[in-house]
A and B are shown apart, each in its own frame.
Chain A
Amino acid sequence: MTVILSFFAIGETKIKSFLLSLIFFVNLIFANYQFKTIASDLDDAWSFDFLNENQIIFTEQPGKVKIITISSGEIVEVEGAPKVQYASQGGLSEIVLDPNFKKNNVLYLTYSALNERGKSTLFLMSAELSNNALINKKIIFEAKAFRRVPIHMGAKIDFLSDGTLLLTSGDGFDHKEKAQSLDNHFGKIIRINKDGSVPNDNPFVGNNNVLPEIFTYGHRNMQGLVVMDDGRIFEHEHGPRGGDEFNLIEPGKNYGWPAITYGIDYSGAVISPFTKMDGMEQPLKYWVPSIAPSDMIYYDGDLYPELKDSFLITALVSRDVKKIKKTNTLITEESIFSSLNSRLRSIGVSPSGELYLLTDGRRGKLLKVLSTKE
C-alpha cells in the first residue's frame, strides 16, 4: 500500500525511473538461464564466429577449423587449416570473420607454430573461405616473440573502425620482462593493416628503436579484446596468482606488466612490490584471486534485457561469466551462468543477438543461452 501511495506522491519522471528500476530488479532476480547444447565432444575448441544465423565456424586447438549447422547439429571440417604447434597452451586459437565477410569471404586465424628457423611463435593468417576450404592463405604477421614452448600467446583479434586490425601477443611466461622492451612483440597489442603492413599513424612509427606494429605494451596474457562502436578499446588479461586485469586501451601506453602488478608469481615469489607507477596505466578493475578471464564481448542486444550494455567475460577458474557494467564513475560486477559450473573458454553473439558459450577442454561443448523470453 505504501508503494502504491508513493506513486501519487512523486512526479511522473520519478515514477518512470522507479518502474524501470523495478522491472530491472525483477528481471535480475528471476533471470533463470537455460542452456541448450548445440555440440559436444569438441576437442579443445577455442574460438568461434557466426557465418550466418544458422552456421558457426570454430577452431579446435589441435589444428582444425570446423563449421556447425545449428539447426541440424551437423559438423563439417574445413580443409586447409594451418599446421600448428599444439602443445602447452598453444595451437589454433582465434577465428574472426572480416567485417566485409559477406562480400569477400575473408577470415583471420591466429595460431602458434614453428617458424622457418624452428622457433615457436604467434602467427596471424588471412584466408578465404570457399566450399568448406581455406584458400588464398597468407601469413600476414609473425610475432617477434620466440619461445621454447607455446605459452601465454594472447592471440585475440578485433577490428578498429578504420579497417585496421588489433592482435594481442602474450608475454610468453619465461619472457615476461620483455613486455617492457619495445624491440619485441612479447606482451604487446599489435596494430596492423589487413595485409600485414603497418599503419602510418601507429604510436611508435618513426622511432627506430621500437617495432612499428606496437600499439600498447606492458601486457601479460590478453584473451579478451573488444572495440566499441565509439572507438574505445577494452581488453582483459590473465594475471599470475591474482592480478587479472580489465583495461581501457589507449595507443602508446604502458600497462605495467611485470613492473607493476596486483598478483604474485605461481611459485609464491614477489613479481614486483609495486602496484602503481607514474607512466604506467592502472586497470579499470582487477581480480584477486584470479578468475582467469578467457574471452569478452560487449552485449548490446535486446534478447537478454538484464545483460544489455554490459561486458560479458568468460572465466576459466571461477567457472562463470562476469557481467561488468561500466559507467563513468563506477564498475559493477555480477556472476552469471555459474550453474553451468564449467570452465568457459569463449562467448559470442549471433547476428540476431543470441548468446553462445564454448566450454573448455578435450570434451568441450557449444551451448546456446536461451533468452529469458524463451
Chain B
Amino acid sequence: MKIAKYPFAILVAALFTVALTTPISSFTNIIWLSSMNLPINFFSSLEIILFDFQRLGTLLYGIIIIEFVIAFSLVGLIQKYVPETKYLYPIAGAIITGLTLFLLVEFSTQTEVLAGNRTILGKFLHCLAGFAGGYLFNILISRERKISFVIRTLGIIYAYLILGLVLNWIFTPISAASDFGFIFNELNSSAQNALLRDFTSFFVATFLFSIIGVITLNSAWFFSAGIIYVGAGIFNLIAIYAHGTDYNQIFIGEFLLGSFPIALGLITSYQKKKAEV
C-alpha cells in the first residue's frame, strides 16, 4: 500500500479541489443571473451547481489530477533538500492551480473559459482551493490507511463520475443525447421516450450499484456495475462488426468504466478471502 497511497491521495485531493473550485464558477453565474432579476431560487441554483459538478467538474478533475501529479512530484524531490513542513504541498497546490489557469488563458483559449476566474477574487479562490487540495494530500500521505478506506474512496470517485452522467440525463436530456450523437428533436416521440428511459435507468442503476458497493463492501455490487459497462462495450463491437452500424469509439470508455468497478470488486473479494483465512 505504500506505493499505492500516492496515486490514491492524488485522486482524492484532486476530487476535493474540484469540489471547491467548481462552485466558484457556478456562484459567479448565479450571482449574475440574480442581478438580472431572473427567477433564481434554491432549486435552480442547485441545478446549476450539480450540473457544473458533473460537466465542468469532470473536465477540471482531469486537469487538476495532471497538475497535482506534476507539482507534488516536484515537491517530493524538493523535500529531500529543505526542512520538513506541512505547508509545502499546499503551497505547491496553490501555485500550480494559479499557473494552470494562467497558462490555459494565455497559451490555449485566449479567453477566460472559467467564469469564476474572471475576477481577482475568483483567481484567489481558485488558488485557495489548490492550497486546500495540497493540504489534504499531505494529510493523506502522512499515515497509512486501511484497504477498505481506499476501496470506499475509489468507489465514491467512480460513483461521482457516473453521477455526472445521471444528472445530465435527468436534467438536460437533449444535451446528454447530443453527447451520444443523437439529435433529440429529430427522433420521433417513441424513440425519445425509449432513449430517455433506457439511458437514464442504465446510468442510475450503475450509480446505485457502486454506491451500495461502497456502503456494503460486497464485491457483487461492483461486479454488477462493471458487467453492465463491459457488456455495453462488447455489444457495441458486435453492433459495429456483426450488424454493420457506424463505428463508435465510445466502446473504449465503456470498457474503462467497466474495468474500474470490476477491479474494485476483485480487490474487495480478495481482501475478504484473506480476512477469512
Contacts and interface: CB of A to CB of B under 8 A. Distances in A.
A351 to B, nearest CB: 37
A174 B118 contact: yes
A270 interface: yes
Nearest to A289: B178
Given A264-B55, A274-B38, A288-B174, A269 B112 contact: no
A269 B111 contact: no
B35 to A, nearest CB: 9
A94 B103 CA distance: 32
B29 A271 contact: yes
A270 B113 contact: no
A242 B52 CA distance: 16
Interface in B14-53: 25-26, 29, 32-33, 36, 38-39, 44, 47-48, 51-52
A174 B29 CA distance: 13
B55 A272 contact: no
A149 interface: yes
B172 to A, nearest CB: 8
A315 to B, nearest CB: 14
B175 interface: yes
Interface in B207-225: none
B92 interface: no
A265 B115 CA distance: 9
B52 A270 contact: yes
A289 B183 contact: yes
A88 interface: yes
B113 A266 contact: yes
Interface size class on chain A is: 20 to 34
A110 interface: no
Contacts of B178: 242, 288-289
B38 A88 contact: no
A262 B59 CA distance: 21
Contacts of B118: 174
Contact of A151 (B29, B111, B115): B111
Interface in A186-243: 241-242
B114 interface: yes
B38 A265 contact: no
A37 B118 CA distance: 45
A272 B218 CA distance: 41
Given A259-B36, A265-B115, A270 B175 contact: no
A173 B28 CA distance: 16
Contacts of B33: 259, 272-274
A274 B32 CA distance: 13
Given A173-B111, A288-B184, A269 B32 contact: no
A173 B115 CA distance: 11
B141 to A, nearest CB: 30
Nearest to A263: B175
A180 B118 CA distance: 18
A224 to B, nearest CB: 21
Interface string A357-371: 000000000000000
Contacts of B29: 269-272
B175 A264 contact: yes
Given A149-B111, A265-B113, A273 B44 contact: yes
Contact of A269 (B25, B44, B172, B184): B25
Contact of A268 (B39, B59, B110, B112): B59
A151 B47 CA distance: 30
Contacts of B39: 274
B58 interface: yes
Given A174-B118, A259-B36, A288-B175, A273 B47 contact: yes
Contacts of B185: 288
Given A242-B178, A288-B184, A267 B59 contact: yes
A174 B175 contact: no
B166 interface: no
B56 interface: yes
A142 interface: no
A104 B44 CA distance: 56
A149 B110 contact: yes
A99 B98 CA distance: 53
A333 to B, nearest CB: 9
Contacts of A288: 174-175, 178, 183-185
A277 interface: yes
A180 B115 CA distance: 17
A177 interface: yes
The 7 closest A-B pairs by CB, nearest first: A268-B55, A269-B56, A268-B56, A270-B48, A289-B178, A173-B111, A149-B110
13 contacts: A149-B110, A242-B178, A265-B56, A265-B115, A267-B59, A268-B59, A269-B29, A269-B114, A269-B115, A270-B52, A272-B29, A274-B39, A288-B174
Interface of A: 88, 148-149, 151, 173-174, 177, 180, 241-242, 259, 262, 264-274, 277, 288-289
